[in-house]
Structure 1
Amino acid sequence: MLRRTKIVATLGPATDDPKVIGKLIDAGLDVARLNFSHGTHEVHVNRARVARESAEARGRTVGVLVDLQGPKIRVGKFKEGGVVLEEGATFIIDTDFPLDGGTVERVGTTYKTLPQDVVPGSILLLDDGRISLQVEKVEGTRVICRVVVGGHLTDNKGINRQGGGLSAAALTDADREAIKVAAAIKADYLAVSFPSRAEDVEEARRLFHDAGGHGGIVSKIERAEAIENIEEIVRASDVIMIARGDLAVEIGDAAVPPIQKRIIRMARKLNKITITATQMMESMIENSLPTRAEVSDVANAVLDGTDAVMLSAETAVGKHPVAAVAAMDRVCRVAEMEEEATHSEHRMSVTFERVDEAIAMATMYTANHLDVKAIIALTESGGTPLWMSRISSGVPIYALTRQLETGRKMSLFRGVCPVVFDPGTSDHAIINQEAVEELRRRGAVRDGDQVIITKGDLSGIMGGTNTMKIVTVSKLPAA
């Protein structure tokens, strides 16, 4: 059974052995994430190369997602590596304090405009919300706080403001250099950390394009301000990543599940891709099996309609990276057997503006109401398979393209299996026959199966899909 939900897995020290990356692909990895918050540019370039070479050796199409670090909003380091903050104690975050001189009374920060972004009464959350500070007053470079919830605070932990309000720009100078690297390695997706408005997304797209990049832009939803501007951000993006870690700290953990569902619904309505991320199987950093709660989390994301689920530290630094991908694969497959994952009323009442979109919707309606074993979408840009992937269905979509970059981009589309395919002819009858033979070789169809084929009259034209055919394997009519 072809798994429809895609798996994004982060590469890191635990996967640097090429044999491990190969095993990740065998286990079900669809998109390799390169987290530029850690490691050098050279390390990431090498990881992308190895992932693509391993995928090619297996006849697989695997995408590469470059995830930008974004602004560093962190405390500095402590002289002793960490301190224990007691409830009720005074603790100062000082932008003019040495970044390596932290004590139990005071610490520096990488975020130099913190004093301008807070007022007395503001709540600062450190280390993913484990420690809570209330601002009592601001004196010059010093933000003087009272410890509300104490605990062990170690080097370089993140700072969030409850409810949002930190004004850091989404793109830093380091991100601008990383964008050039992403373009050089032909990254299929570029993820922007902490966007708060559509302009942040558009700036990243412009910089990526100017550097020669052609991949899609992923907006990571992790700020309270992003929720306030969510529709404009979704419209400006190609992909939305629901990054539940920082988001939960800013808006409260209980608010995240309904927000996750709402964003996925909105993105599907607007024909955008979604990735559900953060702590999906975090216990597998140490353990060989996920918890029951983690299994339910992944399954619910699938039933929500997410295009992809993501592993972070589980594969980057975890003890069981291959087992984590295999576990996620297993959970997705079972969740996809449920009726709500295979039936959809999406866009049934909409008037379509483009012929290729109308063909995509007609194809999915037909596939869901006829005994069809597979859909073959011959595509240049990936637009028609994207529209198809918005409709819940149990029928696999094989997107055949001559463009390797289009194939890698489609590796993130739910329900779409990208296949690099060049028939070497413009004869429609031969193209039909060779496309079906490609699926037969893959074991996806056999004699007597019904297959839907979509394509354009003119080969090589982007956005030119205008034809839908229903054919029977081994009994193909002339085009």
Structure 2
Amino acid sequence: MSTAESPTPRRRGTKIVATLGPASSEPAVLERMIAAGVNVMRLNFSHGTAKDHIERARLVRETAQRAGRELAIMADLQGPKIRVGKFADGMVLLEPGASFVLDAARTELGDLQGVGLDYKELPRDVKPGDTLLLNDGLIVLEVAAVRGDQVRTTVRLGGVLSNNKGINKQGGGLTAPALTAKDMEDIRTAMSFQADYVAVSFPKTATDMEMARQLCNVAAAEYRHKPGLIAKIERAEAIPNLEKILEASDGIMVARGDLAVEVGNAAVPALQKKMIRLALQHDKFVITATQMMESMITNPVPTRAEVSDVANAVLDGTDAVMLSAETASGKFPVETVTEMANICAEAEMAEDVKLDADFSGMTFSRIDQSIAMGALFTAYHLGCKAIVALTDSGSTPLWMSRHRVHIPIYALTPRVVTQRKMAIYRNVRPLLMDQSVDRDQALADAERHLKRRGIVGSGDIYAITCGEPMGAPGGTNMLKICRAE
């Protein structure tokens, strides 16, 4: 058996996603990050080669194994490159009121008059009066005219514009497809090392996610693997389609960077709360991301605002909080994970449990889901020390994790792929346990496992769910309340 999480000084239900990069690719650093509390490692396919990602995935698996842990690996696809080209001097300083041309046909390097485009469809996606935001909104251009391949603009908010900075259209409306030829190749790479999750950038509809799932399943077929799909919500067009996108995905990411540029910074906090609430209602997991501990790229402690940001995401009910440049290229990757873990644990202590209200008016048509909810309700009101789910697919622990009970959920599975996938579920501690025996033997093995790890002691009450016959997916049909011997 191996645990998904090693013991830590403070119990924490919220999971931490960390991005692997130059600052965290040394085995010793990665091992310390895992010990500090990382649950999911993100490989950012916007940077690096296929060989780089395969090597980093191997490093994660080997380091986690040495640490006695199983982490999930998330392959984060780049998505469409909606960017300006390069400049002769690497950058230009744009002055307010100046004219500037974005030219899809330009092949020479850019200058103060204009620059080429990686995204050749831009002239067909905009019209006079539209607002374009470059470099995460630090540069604002107003479209004055469209002439063939040229988008002629007036600088409204100036500043330094450097090579390959991103372009957003205020309010959305860019037609770039969510999946590019590069993404399709990257999916094949990710499946070669059986990434547990694939994050799809810039989906606008459920169809984008359905197409991504088909591509992933085809690429993973030879490995007999099926990854989970995460929709990164970062386009304005995705907001009205959010519920359909959720239904087509296993989880979503509140990707606040590009989303804020398109809908405006002020709209993001309310959207974040809405997305987390809807994900919980639809039995999907949710990751909150972007600039959560941004100052720790260069500083050893976070700002008070960052502490509040992480804590509020936890209080909203997010499954996971994510670190990007903080761990990929920052100076303090281990310290950042440690700080984030402490913030999450402290915020969870202030959470209200509203289980009775959660269940008010709810009905369940599935036996396995009814058993999961029954285990939560009973364990909470009996004051159980733990909830244990013997699971093959991980569905029962996922359903349980949608509600706050402040009782740890231990998910025991015979499948390492299920163990890794459950690493992202809030308040779920996935453990590997053989379940090839009969029910009574499995229940006895589970109690010995819990006692050996100090999870329950003699006389402690715990709830356990399983299915008969053992090992049948979707077969959870039994709830038992036990007192440890």
Report the TM-score, using the length of structure 1 for normalisation: 0.97
**1:461 and 2:469 are equivalent in the alignment:** no
Q: Which residue of 1 aligns with 2:203?
A: 195
Q: Aligned letter for 1:455?
A: C
Q: Which residue of 2 aligns with 1:477?
A: none
Q: Aligned letter for 1:141?
A: D
- Tell me which moved more, 137-146 or 417-426: 417-426
CA deviation vs aligned residue, 1:326-383 (integer Å, no higher than 9, x gap): 1110000000001326756334322111111000101111122111111110000001
Tell me if the contact between 2:315 and 2:351 (Cα under 8 Å) persists in the aligned partners: no
Secondary structure of 2:111's aligned partner: coil
Q: Distance in 1 between the 2:443 and 2:241 partners?
A: 45
- 1:48 corresponds, among 38, 57, 71, to 57
**1:21 and 2:30 are equivalent in the alignment:** yes
Instruction: Report deviation, 1:4.
Output: 0.5
- Tell me which moved more, 331-340 or 310-319: 331-340
**1:435 and 2:446 are equivalent in the alignment:** yes
Sort the Cα spacing of 1:273 and 1:283 in 2 relative to 1 into closer, same or farther, 3 A.
same
- 2:184 corresponds, among 176, 188, 195, to 176
**1:34 and 2:43 are equivalent in the alignment:** yes
Secondary structure of 1:66's aligned partner: strand
Tell me if the contact between 1:7 and 1:310 (Cα under 8 Å) persists in the aligned partners: yes
Q: Distance in 2 between the 1:48 and 1:119 partners?
A: 44
Instruction: Report deviation, 1:423.
Output: 4.8
Sort the Cα spacing of 1:170 and 1:379 in 2 relative to 1 into closer, same or farther, 3 A.
same
- 1:5 corresponds, among 9, 14, 21, to 14
Q: Which residue of 2 aligns with 1:445?
A: 456
- 2:155 corresponds, among 147, 162, 174, to 147
Tell me if the contact between 1:456 and 1:464 (Cα under 8 Å) persists in the aligned partners: yes
5 Å matches for 1:101-250? 101-212=109-220, 213-250=225-262
Q: Aligned letter for 1:468?
A: L
Instruction: Report deviation, 1:447.
Output: 1.2
Sort the Cα spacing of 1:174 and 1:344 in 2 relative to 1 into closer, same or farther, 3 A.
farther
Q: Distance in 2 between the 1:49 and 1:346 partners?
A: 41
Q: Which residue of 2 aligns with 1:383?
A: 395
Instruction: Report deviation, 1:182.
Output: 1.4
Secondary structure of 1:156's aligned partner: coil
Tell me if the contact between 1:74 and 1:110 (Cα under 8 Å) persists in the aligned partners: yes
Tell me if the contact between 2:130 and 2:142 (Cα under 8 Å) persists in the aligned partners: yes
Instruction: Report deviation, 1:39.
Output: 0.8
Instruction: Report deviation, 1:441.
Output: 2.1
Tell me if the contact between 1:198 and 1:233 (Cα under 8 Å) persists in the aligned partners: yes
Q: What is the root-mean-square deviation of aligned Cα atoms in Å? A: 1.1
CA deviation vs aligned residue, 1:244-289 (integer Å, no higher than 9, x gap): 0000000000000000001111110010100000000010100111
Q: Distance in 2 between the 1:228 and 1:465 partners?
A: 35
Report the TM-score, using the length of structure 2 for normalisation: 0.96
Q: Which runs of 5+ in 2 are unaligned?
A: 1-9
Secondary structure of 1:176's aligned partner: helix
Q: Which residue of 2 aligns with 1:471?
A: 482
Q: Distance in 1 between the 2:165 and 2:432 partners?
A: 44
Q: Aligned letter for 1:11?
A: L
Aligned residues: 472
CA deviation vs aligned residue, 1:45-83 (integer Å, no higher than 9, x gap): 111111111112222121000000000000111111111
Secondary structure of 1:336's aligned partner: helix
Tell me if the contact between 1:305 and 1:341 (Cα under 8 Å) persists in the aligned partners: no
Q: Distance in 2 between the 1:71 and 1:344 partners?
A: 45
Q: Distance in 2 between the 1:349 and 1:185 partners?
A: 44
Tell me if the contact between 2:435 and 2:471 (Cα under 8 Å) persists in the aligned partners: no
Tell me if the contact between 1:344 and 1:391 (Cα under 8 Å) persists in the aligned partners: no
CA deviation vs aligned residue, 1:216-267 (integer Å, no higher than 9, x gap): 1000000000012111111111111000000000000000000000111111
Once the two structures are aligned, what percentage of the paired residues are identical? 54
Sort the Cα spacing of 1:423 and 1:238 in 2 relative to 1 into closer, same or farther, 3 A.
closer
Q: Which residue of 1 aligns with 2:3?
A: none
- Tell me which moved more, 310-319 or 39-48: 39-48
**1:365 and 2:377 are equivalent in the alignment:** yes
Q: Which runs of 5+ in 1 are unaligned?
A: 475-479
**1:403 and 2:415 are equivalent in the alignment:** yes
- Tell me which moved more, 338-347 or 369-378: 338-347
Tell me if the contact between 2:42 and 2:74 (Cα under 8 Å) persists in the aligned partners: yes
Q: Segments of 4+ in structure 1 off by > 6 A?
A: none
